[in-house]
Amino acid sequence: METGEFMHRNVPLYVSLTAAMALTVAAARAEDGLNLTISPQDKLSVRVYDWQQADGTLREWPAFNGEFVVGSNGRVELPLIGLVDAASRSAPEIAADVANRLQAQVGLIAKPSVIVDVAEYRPYYVMGDVDHPGEFAFKPGLTALKAYSIAGGSRLMQGATVWQPAHDLLSAAGDARTLSQRIDELKAKRARLGAELAGESAVSFPPELGANSKSLVERERQLFEERRNALRQGLNSLASQKALNEEEVKALQGRIDVNADQSQRIEAQVERTKGLVQNGLITAAQILTLQQAHTELQSQQLDINGRIFIVREQISKIEKDMFDLQSSKQQEVLADMQATEASLHEAVNRIQTLSDIMGQAQAAIANPLHTASAIRFTIRRRQSILTFDDGRDPPIEPGDIVTVERTVSQTADGPQSAAETAIVRADGKSPADVQ
């Protein structure tokens, strides 16, 4: 039995199996602690299918399927239906919303099957007493201790706690400078894309892009002009073709009018000569010649009408090409804008993390003598700050900023006993060596 025939005859069974699979996946995610709501920077995978009752097959919508990044406004831009609210919603809620809007937009009798999944979560950040502070890709099932281990754990050297605040400060400052330049690039690009979307004749760059960004602004302005001219040339070329075709239609219409006038004159002449034939003044052959000329004019009329139909079809195709050119350019710019907004949001979050790292490093430079005793996790999650210093291993969510601290006690004279962990400075010297 063919697959299509089997599915056609077993639609209820197919639907039941699909529902069961969806429930199984949902239950598995609940067990893994993956009931997470969507937030900006998350990348969603969207797939759309619909059931073809006529041939018993499941049809995929390739133009709609793909991966889409949730923008800083909490919305995701999807083909055909536009912006969809995504922030603070679950993937099944978004899928249901997309199915409803597609049904209404396309005019379907039944809702299409929409599958929304998280292809990539927004990153999390680790800073503090770790070897490699920074940004990390989120994986389901992540906990604070796992994040601590991934970031390199505590800085230890020969059994002693080693603080490297000067290194952290220099490294973070260098990264911050690079990231600041990247933010300027993204802001300039966003301004150029906004001007393209609005159909502006020039780009208005944000005032914070000062003299240091002059070359950057000039590059984006040149790119804007090049893309604008390319679109204009494409549209002008199509418009010229359309104008030529319209002129041809006008000329053909003129020939129709001339032929119609000639046809009327021949018909009148035939009527006049019929009486002359009856009176024997002219022969019937002369009337036959006039009738043949009238038939030829009618044939020409049909040919001209056929040509007008073809040319008008060409004009319709050119108009469609002009619309498609503008539409494809608009969709390309929208997708680029969405990716730019996501990258900008990520860069701003990252530079905030680097600022925190530099602040901590400066504090450590001012007060370098510590003895580690226990680990404290401080998690900044949205508008909340959570602290765990009782040995617990809390779960980490996408976007969390985890600060790792070795809870410490200061000492002016170094370790009080050999049993205590030795204090070592970043240059490898103990406190006794520098006193």
pTM: 0.44
User: Are 252 and 272 in the same domain?
Assistant: yes
Which DSSP letter does residue 395 get?
B
Q: What is the DSSP string of 209-270?
A: S-GGGHHHHHHHHHHHHHHHHHHHHHHHHHHHHHHHHHHHHHHHHHHHHHHHHHHHHHHHHH
User: Are 207 and 60 in the same domain?
Assistant: no
Instruction: Give the domain extent around 193.
Output: 162-364
Check residue 402 and give its pLDDT. Answer: 94
Element (H, E) at 178: helix 165-198
Q: What is the DSSP string of 110-149?
A: SPPEEEEEEEEPPPEEEEESSSS-EEE---TT-BHHHHHH
Half-sphere exposure of 387 (CA within 13 A, CB side): 5
User: Are 189 and 283 in the same domain?
Assistant: yes
User: Are 218 and 239 in the same domain?
Assistant: yes
User: Are 272 and 399 in the same domain?
Assistant: no
Domain count for the chain: 3
Judge whether 419 lies within some domain: no
Mean pLDDT by 10 residues, the chain (435 residues): 43 40 42 66 90 76 87 89 90 92 85 90 90 90 88 53 58 82 89 91 86 82 90 91 93 89 83 71 74 85 91 93 90 91 89 82 65 75 86 88 74 39 34 37
- Could you report how far apart the first and last alpha carbons of the chain are, in Å? 89
- 241's CB contacts (< 8 A; 6+ apart) are 314, 318
User: Are 313 and 271 in the same domain?
Assistant: yes
Check residue 114 and give its pLDDT. Answer: 92
Check residue 165 and give its pLDDT. Answer: 63
User: Are 146 and 177 in the same domain?
Assistant: no
User: Are 142 and 82 in the same domain?
Assistant: no
